[in-house]
Structure 1
Amino acid sequence: MRLLGRDLAMDLGAASTRIYVKRRGIVLDEPSAVMCDGRTGKIIGFGSEAAALGGGTRTCWPVRGGLPADAELARRMIRHFLRKVHWHPYSRPRLVLALPGESTPIDRAALHDVAYEAEARTVRLVPHALAAALGAGLTLTDFAGNMVIDIGRDAARIAVLSGESVVAAGSVPYGGRAVSRAIARHVEQEHGLLLNDAEAESAKRRASGGDREIVVRAHDPDTGRVRELLLPVQRIFEATGPPVESIARAAVETVELCPPELTADLGERGAVLVGGGALLPGLGRRLRETLCMPVRRAERPLECVALGLGRCVDELGLLGRFRTGGRL
């Protein structure tokens, strides 16, 4: 019977993929990366092993917005991750995935197809906003309003929930990568140094640690050397203003779509931040000032969607209420 496979939940994110095993928790957390040979295009690594490979290679990110951007690379990456979790190469799991709120029927079919071709036995899709809310610990058994702001790698998604239904939703193409690029632009404009994507991402995460200044390693285009630069966290806060303001405006527009009674609930309950972008310092304060409501960061913002999907695996009754297509 073990050859049939375990019950799994997979948070297929643009930056990272996480797999939750029934009653065991998150057992895999790796970059959603595929490393290809720069000359031949042949795949030579996935996930963490891809990130560790050196020169002469090309990194591909086959997932965008929670959906396959490159179906073939996404399929092979998902199959690699599933086989890392399973004890036997021929086992086929029952799989729960998150479906982004703005998805079309074609997107839904593509996600199903990629999962089946990656050797999933059956696939069930759960609305992304509901999975994030469950993972953040929000109560969905009543009909009071809840708001979730999920800031991923490529986009920020905003959803207002009432019970187990999404009442209003919005999104902007500004996520964690846009924030990191804003930091890199600031370093280039102010200091004439080049900050690569990995270092900009690291600077964004370290800025949330409570230090007033952080050290970044930037490339000097004139000498070709790497220089260390002491960067005030306050300047990072200022440099990331434009993408954060776009997220705040989208959140306000989403609230304006809600009926008055739910707006009143949000004034009391506020919003919860999830996703990697939630770690940006000062983000909660800026959103509180714009939305005029409480804003807090989830206890485990990076893992909220995986934990919420995991609850659906642990408590099969939840899946019966989240009708989004597919079967478990």
Structure 2
Amino acid sequence: MAFGVSTDIGIDLGTASILVYIKGKGVVLKEPSVVAYDRNTNEIKAIGEEARMMIGRTPGNIVAIRPLKQGVIADYTITEKMIRYFIQKAIGKRTFRKPRICVCVPSQITEVERKAVEDATFNAGAREVYLVEEPLAAAIGAGIDITKPCGNMIVDIGGGTTDVAVISLAGTVVSESIKVAGDDFNEAIVRYMRKKHNLLIGERTGEEIKIKIGTCYPRQEELAIDVRGRNLVTGLPKTVTITSEETLEALSESANQIVEAVHMVLEKTPPELAADISDRGIVLTGGGALLTGLEQLLEERLGITTMTAEEPTTCVAVGTGKYMEVMNSIRD
């Protein structure tokens, strides 16, 4: 292999985590999109998993933040440094040519937000930058042949946004992006604990509850978990037992908003493609798709078979990495 060959990289620039896909190697890196920096000196202390461990546990001058909010860049400078760090970590510093980078973005992103992602990626060391819409990337990553003239419906539930799209002939026919996703599930549990049990818990504990016993459809067997937090009345630490039945109550509102978004897209879908979707079903991707009961909820409400992709969390990253190959094959 000749020296100087550049690498093709796909980056799933998510609100909750960043995944890097390298052609020929697969997903080589998956880390939380969190940066810890010193407010006084503006010096970055940690990036990724190390910074995530610091959330809610840092002294006043050090803040752990997520520079991406709801799928778009909220803090430009820190995002650029974070992308550069992850690229170097994924490919190592011994590259002779800058890589070609494909980055996925939410489907309803504005021109200004697109430009911010492009600029940050160029400044982080890219030779060429391509942007791909999340549902398209998710469909490719889920193993769907998007080049055929038939309708496929993808619901990509990430950390900050849920993208719903109908795809045919390698393009998006109808799409909708809502700012309700995995993070909102966590927040809903935090709010529920405060309101119902007078217990103050952190975002990380909320996420833990969601993963272990969270559901948006009645479970066959009920699960329970002990949750530690601060009692809002006495101000002292307290432990409360919460059941999966309670998480159903906490998560129902956010889950219903996702169902509504899917319903809205189906209403706008051309009849021929709607018939295809009825036959082929709806495909769920993204980390939020792992929430128990989401498949059953969509099936019950919409009457369409719903399935979760094999590796929902890595679908978008894999699809972003393979996007250029798919587009080249269409041109050929």
Taking structure 2 as the reference length, the TM-score comes to 0.89
Task: Name the structure 2 match of 1:189.
Answer: 195
**2:167 alignment counterpart:** 161
Q: Is the 8 A contact 1:8 1:95 kept in 2?
A: yes
- 1:129/1:137 Cα in 2 relative to 1: closer, same or farther (>3 Å)? same
Looking at structure 2, the residues matched to 182 and 285 of structure 1 have their Cα atoms a distance apart, in angstroms, of: 20
The 2-side partners of 1:204 and 1:111 are apart by: 30
Q: For residues 165-314 of structure 1, what are the structure 2 equivalents within 5 Å?
A: 165-207=171-213, 212-312=223-323
Question: Could you tell me how far apart the structure 1 residues matched to 2:245 and 2:258 are?
Answer: 20
Output the amino acid matched with 1:244.
Answer: A
Matched, 1:126 2:127: no
Q: 2:58 aligns with which of 55, 70, 85?
A: 55
Moved over 6 A (4+): none
Q: Specify the alignment match of 1:145 in structure 2.
A: 151
Identity %: 35
Give the drift of 1:16. Answer: 0.4
Q: Could you say which residue in structure 2 is the equivalent of 1:97?
A: 103
Distance 1:52 1:183, change over 3 A: closer
Q: Which has the higher mean CA deviation after the structures are superposed, 129-138 or 97-106? A: 97-106
Contact 1:237 1:281 in 2 (8 A): no
| 1:2 Cα deviation after fit | 4.5
1:237–1:282 contact (8 Å) kept in structure 2:
no
Question: 1:310 Cα shift?
Answer: 2.4
CA 1:30–1:260: 2 relative to 1, 3 Å? same
Could you say what secondary structure the match of 2:313 adopts?
Answer: helix
For 1:298 and 1:211, how far apart are their aligned partners in 2? 26
Letter in 1 for 2:93: H
Give distance in 1, aligned partners of 2:222 and 2:41: 44
Cα shift at 1:218:
2.2
User: What RMSD, in angstroms, separates the aligned Cα atoms of the two structures?
Assistant: 2.2
1:322/1:32 CA distance change after superposition, 3 Å? farther
Provide closer, same or farther for how the CA distance between residues 224 and 321 of structure 1 changes in structure 2, counting only shifts above 3 A: farther
Deviation at 1:67, TM superposition (A): 2.9
Distance in 1, Cα, partners of 2:52 & 2:274: 44
Q: What does the per-residue CA deviation read over 1:282-320, in whole Å, with 9 as the maximum and x for residues that have no partner?
A: 11111112222111111211111001122236xx2x133
Residue 147 of structure 2 contacts residue 330 of structure 2 at CA under 8 Å; is this kept in 1? no
Q: Is the 8 A contact 1:126 1:322 kept in 2?
A: no
TM-score, normalised by the number of residues in structure 1: 0.90
Measured against aligned partners, the alpha-carbon deviations of 1:73-99 in whole angstroms (never above 9, x if no partner) come to: 110100011111223266521111113
Q: Quick check: 1:37–1:43 contact (8 Å CA) kept in 2?
A: yes
Alignment of 1:11-26 (within 5 A): 11-26=12-27
Task: Point out the more displaced range, 226-235 or 67-76.
Answer: 226-235
Contact 2:134 2:156 in 1 (8 A): no
Moved more, 12-21 or 173-182: 173-182
What 5-or-longer segments of structure 2 have no aligned partner? 216-220
Task: State how far apart, in whole Å, the 1-side matches of 2:230 and 2:312 are.
Answer: 31
CA distance in 1, matches of 2:231, 2:330: 52
* Aligned-partner Cα distance in 2 for 1:118–1:249: 38
Tell me, yes or no, if structure 1 residue 319 matches structure 2 residue 327. Answer: yes
User: Aligned AA for 1:45?
Assistant: A
Structure 1 pair 118–292 and aligned structure 2 pair: CA distance change class (3 A)? same
Query: CA separation in 1, counterparts of 2:259 and 2:224?
Result: 26
Deviation at 1:224, TM superposition (A): 4.1
Q: Distance in 2 between matches of 1:322 and 1:290?
A: 36
- Residue by residue over 1:182-222, the C-alpha shift from the partner in whole angstroms, topping out at 9 and shown as x without a partner, is 11121112211112100101111112698722332222234
Q: Which residue of 1 aligns with 2:218?
A: none
1:326 maps to none
Structure 1 counterpart of 2:243, which letter?
A: P
2:80 to 69, 75, 82: 75
The one-letter code sitting in structure 2 at the alignment partner of 1:68 is: I
CA–CA distance in structure 2, aligned partners of residues 175 and 19 of structure 1: 21
**Cα distance change, pair 260–190 in 1 and its aligned pair in 2 (3 A):** same
Q: What is the rounded CA distance, in whole Å, between the counterparts of 1:111 and 1:182 in structure 2? A: 29
Residue 241 of structure 1 deviates from its aligned partner by 0.7
Amino acid at match of 1:122: E
Unpaired segments of 5 or more residues in structure 1? 324-328
- Contact conserved, 1:66 with 1:98, CA < 8 A, in 2? no
Specify the code of the residue in structure 1 equivalent to 2:272: E
